[in-house]
Amino acid sequence: MRLMITFTHIDGEWGRLGDEGRRALRDWHRAFRAQLRSEQGAEMVNFAPRDQARTVRLLADGQFRVDDGPFQHGVESAGGYFIVDVDSLDETVAWARRGRFMPGACEVRELVEAQM
């Protein structure tokens, strides 16, 4: 099964850690990504900061609107994703738990072929 794990960040959490806390998390996260790469062949993909996002919307009247910022509003925003090839959803949930390094959420979804 191929599954995608998306992860979110909560605005301001990183800044609250201080230099030592950020350094420790970077080291921990580097080790996690190395384990993920070694066991799953997966690479993590990080998104640029949310203030660099643009959202393209198709409105009901057929017009397009482009908004500055992410399509999600609030203090939690998408930070990136990784894709794993595993035997079960439970195994993917375990990877998501292992990789959750700060407050926020991970969403786990199976990747399926488009049926169009």
Q: 116 in a domain, yes or no?
A: no
- Can you give the pLDDT of all 116 residues of the chain as single tens digits? 899 999 988 888 888 888 999 999 899 989 998 998 898 888 888 888 888 888 899 999 999 999 887 766 667 788 889 999 999 999 999 999 998 888 889 999 999 988 87
Count structural domains, the chain. 1
Q: What is the CATH number of the domain that holds 99?
A: 3.30.70.1060
**Cβ partners under 8 Å of residue 100, min gap 6:** 7, 106
Q: 8 in a domain, yes or no?
A: yes
pLDDT at 65: 94
pLDDT at 62: 96
pLDDT at 73: 66
Nearest to 1 by CA among 114, 115, 112, 98: 112
pLDDT at 31: 93
**Which residues constitute the domain of residue 74?**
2-110
